[in-house]
Amino acid sequence: MICDINISGVIMMNFHILTLFPDMVMQGLNTSIIGRAVEKEYITIDAVNIRDYTLDKHGKVDDYTYGGGAGMLMQAQPVYDACMAVQAKIAERKKNTVGARVIYVTPQGKTFRQEMAREMAKEEDLIFLCGHYEGVDERVLEEIVTDYVSIGDYVLTGGELPAMVMVDAIARLVPGVLHNSDSAVTESFHDGLLEYPQYSRPEVWRDKRVPEILLSGDHAKVDAWRLEQSIERTRKLRPDLYAAYIENHDEG
């Protein structure tokens, strides 16, 4: 298999986003850390306009739903052709025919979590399909989608924001994207715990002192304190995560 490698010899990750609003996606992902990661070629982001693939001479990509009901549905043909074009491009680059995963972002999907982000960060290519209107013709979903993923139990107007959320969470786990390689290890959800509280200068602010132990220089004690704080914070704020943590760390 031929991998995509940047000038530093690092394997890149490629995000392909099938959308009716490519500008929204590209603008949302071209700043800060993700923008820098694109610039440095750790990742690529390609927003593909589904409308470019419609065979309708008026550029139509939606139509009424059979059986009645409110709203319009994205039609199968342009979605399918857009996806096949991306798959063909990936196959050509990799010189193989193993299709990339296609993630349909939908409130009906499995809930996106840090663990899923970690697992997806191992892929070389990911294709996201952003729905709009009342959804997408079921037949094309059956043909192309490998993963149905939701970012939470609420309904948004389209799939672009969820796709951007997922790209951000996955991209920052790609080696090289974060400068400080530690920060992906010590952050919230590492080992199923929330992150401990952190402090910067000054030592005293509005009569509040930085916890003394953090000034001690004793790294073992600092680590122990931070773990204790993480556990306590998780117990208070996320009893669901705390219960899972206790179960996993139960000595008995």
- Pick the piece of the chain touching ligand ADE (CB under 6 A) from 75-83, 154-162, 171-179, 225-233: 154-162
85 touches ligand ADE (CB under 6 A): no
Give Cα 113 to chain centroid, integer Å. Answer: 9
CA nearest neighbour of 165 among 105, 93, 227: 105
Considering the complex, state which of residue 17 and residue 193 has its C-beta at the smaller distance from ligand ADE: 17
Largest alpha-carbon pair distance within the chain? 71
Least distance to ligand ADE, CB of residue 2, Å: 33
**8 Å CB contact between 79 and 127:** no
159 touches ligand ADE (CB under 6 A): yes
Question: Rg for the chain (alpha carbons), in Å?
Answer: 22
Q: Enumerate residues 161-200 that contact ligand ADE by CB under 6 A.
A: 162
**Residue 229 is encoded by which pair of tokens?**
């704080």
The site map against ligand ADE for 87-116 (x = CB under 6 A) is ------------------xxx---------
Considering the complex, state which of residue 66 and residue 154 has its C-beta at the smaller distance from ligand ADE: 154
135 touches ligand ADE (CB under 6 A): no
Q: List all residues 6 or more positions away from 198 whose beta carbon is below 8 Å from its beta carbon.
A: none
Q: How far apart are CA 74 and CA 97, in angstroms?
A: 27
Site for ligand ADE, rule CB under 6 A: 105-107, 150-152, 154-156, 159, 162
